[in-house]
Chains A and B, each alone.
Chain A
Amino acid sequence: MQTSRTAAAVAAAALTVAGLAACSDDGPDDGKTHITVTIDAGLEQPAIDAFNARVEQFEDANPDIDVETQEYTWTAGTFTAQLAGGTLPDVFVIPFTDGRGLIERGQIADISAYTAELPYRDAFNPNIAAAGEDADGNLWAVPIAAYGQGLHYNRTLFTAAGLDPDAPPTTWAEIQTAAKAISEATGEAGYSVMTNGNTGGWILTTVVDALGGRTEDAGTATIDTPQMREALAQLQSMRWDDDSMGDTLQYDWAGINQDFAAGRIGMYVSGGGNYGNLFTQNGLNPDDYGLTVLPLGDSPDAGVLGGGTLAAVSPGAEAAEQEAAVAWIDFYYMEKLTDQDAAVADAQVKAETGQPVGAPELPVFDQATYDEQQSWIAEYVNVPVEQMAPYTSQVFAQPLVNEPVTATQEVYAVLDTVVQSILTDENADVDALLETAQADAQAAMDAAA
């Protein structure tokens, strides 16, 4: 169903608007090239207005292109059917994890001839560009945003529990203590995790990585590791010993955002750029919001899991539509990262319509480009940057770990079951769970190879 981390990535990407899609519709024969771009589902009216304003700007600048919008959000549960059904928009977004497979199977359009023309083609951080490249280094899908996982917390609940909202937890043990304090003082969930639609596996993998483990070693599943057991043991302890995880134990990406924005969750792990979604889709009160980095374990392999969003083009798009689609990607997603006027114009529209400007992302180019871009829009920033300082001041120093690459979504689905079992069965047998998960994950990887 709905999901996911992609959504998180999308959030990071555009803050307010995500997905595009484009199915080449045979539009009226007016000599224009028609492309379909999609806007995020469930946006508040100002966000829709802001998006439409950008569409108009684009059409003014490109009078031969006609842009239509379609609602679309990437979710693991619906993407395959949309792809097979040819109902994706001409431009759509996908998570980094899906790029390689789609490119290898030729399921997205080869737009590398057009992306090669982009002036910043060679400026991408090579690690990030790789997510959208084929084996020969041709760029089929454009990385539009990158994120690193963060710990989101509710400052109001922290205060209510007698915790200092300016000094969020810095170790996993402190997270557990804080969660207990919050649930005892306020009755709300101190700490929650996603569990459904592959997000349970996504977050569990995040924690394992932060402790220095990995769930995959080049096509071999490595589920049963000390770090995995540590992560699960802590979940068990918080759920069954401390009872600090609240009453709702089954969340997908959208559901946990909603409950967090409603003030029912003390802390949870999700993409660092999630503020935009929380604000525009879930009506988060900015005063409640706090963001810090994930605590990393002592292991030299400990790192923060990161991912990102690619903008891709429907395989059904004809050449002219592909070109127009790349122009849209350039205009809507990329120019604001590379061009001062575009960055300012984008920030201005968002600020005027009350949309968030300045939620933290990871750079898709190099750090200098990112810092420069941030300086252009500094005067429009309207998100509570102070409250995100614990994150922004440290995340760039954290080692970034890429998501697992083989059968990523399927392995996440396997791990969903593990997390759900731990949270709903007090006597869950960790050995048996991990043994089954190891076998299932390996089977999924073998099937994908």
Chain B
Amino acid sequence: MAGTTDRGLLAPTDWKRPGVRWSTRLLHGALLAGLAVAGLGPMLWLAKAAVTPTQDTLRHPMSLWPNGIDLANLTEAWTRVEIDKYFFNTIALAAGSWAVQLLVAATGGYALAVLRPRLGRYLSGAVLATLFVPSVVLLVPLYLTILDPPVVGTSMLNTFWAVWLPAGANAFNVLLMQRFFANLPREIFEAARVDGAGPYRLFWSIVLPMSRPVIGVVSVFAVIASWKDFLWPMLVLPDPALQPLSVRLPALQQFVELDVFLAALAISSLIPIALFLVFQRLFLSSAGLGGAVKG
């Protein structure tokens, strides 16, 4: 794998040619400007609009505070819109989905890769097969399953479980974990077993601590997916008091004044953006993984 210090398409000799050097610099400058406008521009505009009175946003959308700043938007978004409530729901949904996904993927991957049950191959195949089934197929039957789940008996509509549990059925996570565990050196397991470690201690004290990277990747995928989800929580959480921001925001738009609504949008973007800035490397390496290794 070439690191950043290594060369790429352009050879060191290419870099010495002024024509190449300058045109590359020019292109890089243009690219940076383009990325800044496209990537950062809309978010900066949102940040500005969040503290701008409605009429200014409507009449002079590209002016900087022609009539002053209105910080009250933010507090009103918090109180009148009760954005804190929906924020909490969003976080609760993300946390629960994360926990279920991690539990299912870690235990399942461990069982398949390390404990290796007799029918493991077929189980892996059955999990893998679900990767080929696009989520659209599940929409209606899964909704009906939530309405009338086997065993439980009572409808899971309007409970967080309706979002948490289906999120756990993520084949990609299981296979990723399975593959990771399978690549761990088996001698360590054997040594632990000789020391008298049972399957539980092996899992908890040896395998999990060695799996931080893959746990990180699965966590990022789980949290991002949950934060982005819209259609499913909209279907299974019709009670507004339980809805996450993504479902609630479109409905709020109809009742809330534009400036307060934009403040609510800005607040909703804050946590994911902050998370991204803090865990940038993890995010970007997971994203790269998404295309290169997935499957």
Contacts and interface: CB of A to CB of B under 8 A. Distances in A.
Candidate in B147, B238, B255, B257 with the most chain A CB atoms within 10 angstroms: B255
A160 interface: no
A41 B240 contact: yes
B155 A86 contact: yes
A81 to B, nearest CB: 7
A258 B255 CA distance: 7
A81 B158 CA distance: 13
A85 B147 contact: yes
Given A84-B147, A85-B157, A2 B254 contact: yes
Nearest to A87: B238
A84 B50 CA distance: 39
A42 B147 contact: no
Interface in B120-172: 143, 147, 155, 157-158
Contact of A85 (B54, B80, B238, B241): B238
A84 B235 CA distance: 11
B235 A281 contact: no
Contact of A71 (B157, B240, B254, B258): B240
Contacts of B158: 87
Contact of A78 (B147, B238, B257): B238
A2 B251 contact: yes
Interface in A184-215: none
B26 interface: no
A283 B252 CA distance: 14
Contacts of B255: 41-43, 254, 258, 281-282
A43 B81 CA distance: 10
A133 to B, nearest CB: 29
A41 B147 CA distance: 24
Candidate in B238, B239, B251, B254 with the most chain A CB atoms within 10 angstroms: B254
B46 interface: no
Contacts of B238: 78, 81-82, 85, 87
Given A42-B256, A78-B238, A87 B157 contact: yes
Contacts of A258: 254-255
A45 interface: yes
B239 A70 contact: yes
Given A2-B251, A258-B254, A45 B241 contact: no
Nearest to B254: A254
A257 B143 CA distance: 33
A246 interface: no
A86 B157 contact: yes
Given A70-B239, A71-B240, A86 B251 contact: no
Contact of B257 (A2, A257, A283): A283
Interface string B237-256: 01111000000000110111
A101 interface: no
Contacts of B257: 262, 283
A59 B80 CA distance: 27
Interface residues of A, number: 23
Interface string A120-131: 000000000000
Contacts of B254: 2, 42, 254-255, 257-258, 281
Candidate in B147, B155, B157, B241 with the most chain A CB atoms within 10 angstroms: B157
Contacts of A282: 255
A82 B236 CA distance: 9
A382 B252 CA distance: 27
Given A2-B251, A87-B158, A282-B255, A45 B239 contact: no
A322 B37 CA distance: 59
Contacts of A281: 254-255
A82 B235 CA distance: 9
A44 B235 CA distance: 26
Contact of A86 (B80, B147, B252, B258): B147
A71 B238 CA distance: 9
Contacts of B251: 2, 41-42
B175 to A, nearest CB: 33
Contacts of A71: 239-241
Candidate in A71, A85, A254, A283 with the most chain B CB atoms within 10 angstroms: A85
A6 to B, nearest CB: 15
Interface in A203-243: none
A398 B155 CA distance: 48
Contact of B239 (A2, A43, A87, A262): A87
Candidate in B143, B157, B235, B238 with the most chain A CB atoms within 10 angstroms: B238
Nearest to A71: B240
A85 B147 CA distance: 6
Nearest to A25: B158
A70 B241 CA distance: 8
Nearest to B79: A45
A262 B257 CA distance: 9
B243 to A, nearest CB: 10
A85 B157 CA distance: 7
15 contacts: A2-B251, A41-B240, A44-B80, A70-B239, A71-B240, A81-B235, A85-B143, A85-B238, A86-B155, A87-B158, A254-B254, A255-B254, A257-B254, A282-B255, A283-B257
Interface of A: 2, 41-45, 70-71, 78, 81-82, 84-87, 254-255, 257-258, 262, 281-283
Given A45-B80, A254-B254, A258-B255, 19 more contacts: A2-B251, A41-B251, A42-B251, A42-B252, A43-B255, A70-B241, A78-B238, A81-B235, A85-B155, A85-B157, A85-B238, A86-B147, A86-B157, A87-B157, A87-B158, A257-B254, A281-B255, A282-B255, A283-B257
9 smallest A-B Cβ distances: which pairs?
A42-B255, A254-B254, A71-B240, A87-B238, A85-B157, A281-B255, A87-B157, A82-B238, A87-B158
